[in-house]
Structure 1
Amino acid sequence: MGIDLQLHNGRPYWPGRRSKRKATLIRQSHGHGEALSELIAGIPANTSGKLWTVDPYNDTTFNEQVAEAALREMPALLDRCTNDAQVEAARDLMAYLKDCATTPGSYLVFVGD
């Protein structure tokens, strides 16, 4: 089980679906899926934050406002890290959240297994 990240410059669209819209994918990360999934799974449910809502088994989408709110949770998430792989996963997530929060109209998709 792992979580990949995708940053889109608009409402997510994947080519191949029947539509005249153009692809929106800016970049994606596959390198830290397992570690990111472990970190997200360790967040207590029903907290005041946004990251606990990420579903490791399905896709979860954050818009720029939700990404900005989730950035405030990153210090606590980094404190939860127990190994280097989790630290790298958290830093990767933080970079994606920052880029989403500062790119008008963007979306961050957590692609679950």
Structure 2
Amino acid sequence: MAGMGIEIELYAERPNRRSRPLRGSYRNGEELALVLSRLPYGEGRLGRVNPYGDTALNEQDAGAALAELDALAALARTPGQREAVEDLGRMLAECAATPGSWVLFVGD
């Protein structure tokens, strides 16, 4: 999985080719991909993030994913991985608190 990364972007509405993100997280993509890869595939919202494509979560899904964050944080083994999980938590919390918003995971 070396070299692979997952970036995260927050959108005010469902992302499409013309939308621009409100903000994004691009620094910890490789670390985030490594931590997410340790989750059982298909389990919960975060276990469904596609490392090779895009995965979008609406504000309800983002709220549900917040409940999975402690389990994800327990899988972080380095300071960079912990930082990636914390950044994801901020993005999910902002999305969950903003009606109509979406978080987009952009896989390699």
Could you tell me the TM-score, scaled by structure 2's length?
0.93
Q: Give the structure 1 partner of residue 72 of structure 2.
A: 77
Structure 2: 5+ residue stretches without partners: none
Q: Does residue 1:90 correspond to 2:68, yes or no?
A: no
Q: Deviations over 1:61-93 (max 9, x none)?
A: 000000000000111111111110100000000
Match of 1:5 among 5, 8, 12: 8
Is residue 54–residue 110 contact of structure 1 (8 Å, CA) maintained in 2?
yes
Could you tell me the TM-score, scaled by structure 1's length?
0.89
Q: How many angstroms apart in 1 are the aligned matches of 2:94 and 2:38?
A: 24
Structure 1 moving runs of 4+ over 4 Å: none
Q: Does residue 1:44 correspond to 2:40, yes or no?
A: yes
Is residue 13–residue 25 contact of structure 1 (8 Å, CA) maintained in 2?
no
Q: What RMSD over aligned residues (CA atoms) do the two structures have, in Å? A: 1.0
Deviation, 1:24, is: 4.2
Kindly name which structure, 1 or 2, has the bigger radius of gyration based on alpha carbons. 1
Identity of aligned residues (%): 43
